[in-house]
């Protein structure tokens, strides 16, 4: 009887320890919102078609067909937890828009070299305000790049295609971290360019090795920030955000079929917010090892039982 009870206690403790020591992936926290990144604008497109869970934009739809919707409901998670500020020579060419394929989510399709991604229209030489999601607040710097003259959107993006524009350290933010529209912001003077280009941003945290990567399709044609490629014609960034929020509200209790992050959600946008706030890492590491109360209780129970068992077996004085 004692052997059976001891075995059961040991098994319970082992199971609790296994659960406690199972690594939990860190959540991630940002891409460009204006000019909108591929994942951000595709996510907005997805929200406006929550009934079908399929974006209207052909490039976004192809990405969802290949990788599912989980990546879009974690649109801000284009990250590498160990990048530590490394770029060229570390993140392979052709994978800049998926953080070198190091993210917990599958962003590989968002590297696709095609001309039909949602696109922001800009004016060469103009000053714009760049907005970058602050889903979780971290200190650090932003390295901003634009593709060089002669780059073609039908060619995979490589480091040699990029020209550095600016470095911004700890910019101000608007809206609370974890809010749907919260963002960092700063002014950016656009260079002289014409035609289609890619705006690329690498956010380098100063409090950990985690970095975030963002690819925004833009076209220099005299535009003022209008976005095309999402259906419904030309729209401003504000109209896109408002339209997606209305679509999410009208979805009500409709469940989004995009994996575990939204299976318990009554609303797709709220589900993404709640899930990723809960998953925010408690340390700088990309994997955390939680020690649970169950673990401590089980271990204490085993030790107590062994102590009593040893006492029972001790010879009487």
Q: What is the pLDDT of residues 76-97, one digit of tens each?
A: 999 999 999 999 999 999 999 9
Q: Look-up: residue for tokens 């504000």?
A: 238
Same domain, 102 and 14: no
pLDDT value, residue 40: 96
pLDDT value, residue 37: 97
CATH assignment of the domain containing 178: 2.70.50.50
User: Minimal CA–CA distance to 143: which of 90, 202, 69, 102?
Assistant: 202
Same domain, 79 and 182: yes
Same domain, 193 and 238: yes
Same domain, 211 and 83: yes
Same domain, 169 and 308: no
Same domain, 126 and 231: yes
Give the tens place of pLDDT for each residue, 41-55. 999 999 999 999 999
pLDDT value, residue 240: 60
pLDDT value, residue 238: 65
Strands 195-205, 211-220: pairing kind: antiparallel
Same domain, 264 and 304: no
Our count of domains for the chain comes to 2
The arithmetic mean of pLDDT across residues 212-217, rounded, is 97
Same domain, 267 and 303: no
The arithmetic mean of pLDDT across residues 17-24, rounded, is 34
Indicate the pTM of the whole model: 0.69
Same domain, 209 and 116: yes
Same domain, 254 and 302: no
Same domain, 7 and 53: no
For the ranges 52-66, 91-105, 194-208, 287-301, the lowest mean pLDDT is seen at 287-301
More confident: 14 or 103: 103
Q: Is the pLDDT of residue 278 over 90?
A: no
Q: Is the pLDDT of residue 261 over 60?
A: no
More confident: 302 or 52: 52
Q: Is the pLDDT of residue 144 over 60?
A: yes
pLDDT value, residue 62: 98
For the ranges 46-55, 149-158, 303-312, the lowest mean pLDDT is seen at 303-312
Helix axis angle for 237-251 and 268-278, nearest 10°, is 100
Question: 308 is in which domain, residue-wise?
Answer: 2-21+289-313
pLDDT value, residue 30: 76
pLDDT value, residue 130: 97
pLDDT value, residue 234: 64
pLDDT value, residue 317: 40
């Amino acid at each position: 009887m004692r052997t059976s009870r001891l075995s059961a206690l040991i098994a319970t403790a082992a199971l609790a320890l296994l659960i406690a020591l199972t690594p939990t992936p860190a959540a991630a926290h940002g891409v460009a919102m204006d000019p909108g990144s591929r994942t951000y604008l595709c996510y907005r497109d997805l929200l406006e078609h929550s009934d079908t869970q399929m974006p209207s934009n052909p490039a976004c739809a192809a990405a969802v067909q290949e990788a599912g919707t989980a990546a879009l409901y974690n649109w801000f998670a284009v990250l590498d937890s160990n990048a530590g500020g490394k770029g060229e020579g570390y993140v392979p060419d052709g994978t800049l828009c998926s953080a070198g394929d190091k993210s917990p989510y599958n962003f590989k399709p968002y590297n696709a070299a095609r001309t039909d991604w949602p696109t922001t229209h800009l004016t060469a030489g103009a000053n714009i305000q760049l907005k970058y999601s602050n889903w979780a607040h971290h200190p650090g710097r932003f390295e901003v790049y634009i593709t060089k003259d002669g780059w073609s959107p039908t060619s995979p993006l490589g480091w040699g295609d990029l020209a550095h524009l600016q470095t911004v350290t700890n910019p101000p933010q608007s809206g609370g971290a974890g809010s749907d529209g919260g963002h960092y912001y700063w002014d950016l003077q656009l260079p002289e360019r014409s035609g289609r280009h890619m705006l690329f941003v690498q956010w380098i945290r100063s409090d950990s090795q985690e970095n975030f990567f963002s690819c925004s399709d833009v076209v220099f044609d005299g535009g003022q920030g209008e976005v095309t490629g999402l259906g419904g014609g030309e729209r401003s960034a504000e109209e896109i955000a408002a339209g997606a929020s209305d679509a999410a509200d009208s979805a009500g209790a409709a469940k989004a079929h995009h994996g575990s992050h939204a299976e318990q959600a009554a609303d797709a946008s709220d589900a993404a917010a709640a899930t990723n706030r809960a998953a925010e890492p408690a340390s700088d590491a990309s994997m955390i090892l939680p020690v649970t109360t169950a673990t401590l209780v089980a271990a204490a129970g085993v030790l107590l039982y062994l102590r009593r068992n040893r006492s029972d077996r001790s010879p009487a004085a």
